[in-house]
Amino acid sequence: MTPRESWIPGLPAGDLFGIHNLPYGLVSGPPLTRATLVVRIGDHVLDLAAAAVGSEHAPLLEASSLNPLLAAGRPVWRAARTAVVSWLSDETFRARIEPLLLPLAGLRCHLPFEVADYVDFYSSEHHATTVGRLFRPGSPALPVNWKHLPIGYHGRAGTVVVSGTPIARPSGQRLVDGAPAFGPSLRLDIEAEVGFVVGGPTALGEQVSLSQAAEHIFGVCLVNDWSARDIQAWEYVPLGPFLGKSFATSVSPWIVPLDALATARVAPPARDHPLLPYLDDTKHDGSAPDGGGLDIALTVSVNESVVSRPPFASMYWTPFQQLAHLTANGASLRAGDFFASGTVSGPKRGQEGSLLELTLNGAEPVELDDGSVRAFLEDGDEVVITGQVAAAPGRPALGLGEVRGRVVAGPA
């Protein structure tokens, strides 16, 4: 796609939500009469249902979720994006389109897709190593399978919520003085992740190859996979996390098209174990690597104090490997399938994507700007995770926005 500039008045060059980005969302509020699909540009949104009237894209963009568009597959995603770019950059459309722009302020954002299945991976080597040391002392920090496959598990699709939804502190079983007791989690944590929205359904039995995986990834968002560490630690052997995770997963409201992130692709970390062919993204002919990583810089803040800056480029397994693995057994994909990267933690202190790691399981609490300290989250704490692609030569700056959530006391 040729970079263009938008005709939108007052849109600064280099705006994080400029013409190069155009993430999809679902909003409601006057003057809209129902939840409506939009793209964001600057601090405005374009009403896609209204803009698409009479176009070939109308049946998909009039919907009240992205799922019909997700089902249509990548050629349609590309065509729709090309149309939207034209509408917002070609002066010949301006008279028709400009009245369909609405200020974002005052509108309410909704989850823009219906989640089919939700899978959470575990693809940061630094996260997995630290968590292994904390949860499984005496065992190898990194599980023996970790460098051979992207470990993942299914989460609860029905409790994926949009940014801004209050997060009630979950109750559950956890050990108190060595005995199980029921009550509010005492170790409520965050996990800063990046999420991938899937479309282009496949049939049962069909494998999606590494080279085809991008055809099924519509877009990217931010994820906070809230985690009750005490509930998780007691329940997770042998079948994995369940109630320690299933109470809520928050996602940012803007789905950035994968096509918008083409210039943010980077090579993943060097592979120090040979990979089986279905996961092998190394080039064996000496040419440049595939660039399955994405150079997205995250920040994690608690009550407006930045506590961490996780670099997504440090992830060992890429989303393309994750999707190839997810379907290697013939599991089918549906429009609205969603998978998250796993906690993003870089190699350095201050790059950890969870309080568990930042505080070494509470041993070294973090200090906030107001002088208070946190081992884990307290009621009233507000967590915000942001993501952006920094501008660089040949690459525009892009925003992923934020995923926000405030912890509130659970039911008595």
Q: Site residues (CB under 8 A) for its own copies?
A: 116-117, 119, 122, 132, 135-136, 143, 145, 148-149, 151-159, 161, 165, 168, 170-173, 180-182, 204-207, 228, 231, 234-244, 246-248, 276-278, 325-326, 328-334, 337, 410-411
Nearest approach in angstroms of CB 406 to its own copies is 14
Nearer to its own copies, 207 or 305 (CB): 207
Nearer to its own copies, 173 or 299 (CB): 173
* CA dist., res. 402 & res. 310, Å (int): 14
* CA dist., res. 99 & res. 102, Å (int): 8
Nearer to its own copies, 93 or 135 (CB): 135
Which residue, 275, 286, 189, 195, is CA-closest to 233?
A: 189
Nearest approach in angstroms of CB 275 to its own copies is 10
Question: Catalytic pick from 20, 44, 127, 325?
Answer: 127
Nearer to its own copies, 43 or 182 (CB): 182
Nearest approach in angstroms of CB 225 to its own copies is 12
Tokens of 273: 């174990």
Sign for the CA dihedral angle at 213, 223, 124, 327 comes to: negative
* CA dist., res. 23 & res. 103, Å (int): 15
Nearest approach in angstroms of CB 21 to its own copies is 30
Residues with Cβ < 8 Å from 12, sequence gap 6 or more?
Answer: 18, 42
CA angle 371, 372, 373 (to 5 degrees): 120
Nearest approach in angstroms of CB 210 to its own copies is 12
Nearer to its own copies, 149 or 360 (CB): 149
Nearest approach in angstroms of CB 248 to its own copies is 7
Nearer to its own copies, 156 or 395 (CB): 156
Nearer to its own copies, 266 or 331 (CB): 331
Nearest approach in angstroms of CB 347 to its own copies is 21
127: annotated active-site residue: yes
Nearer to its own copies, 8 or 160 (CB): 160
Residues with Cβ < 8 Å from 92, sequence gap 6 or more?
Answer: none
Largest CA distance in the chain: 71
Nearest approach in angstroms of CB 356 to its own copies is 14
Q: Which residues are catalytic?
A: 127
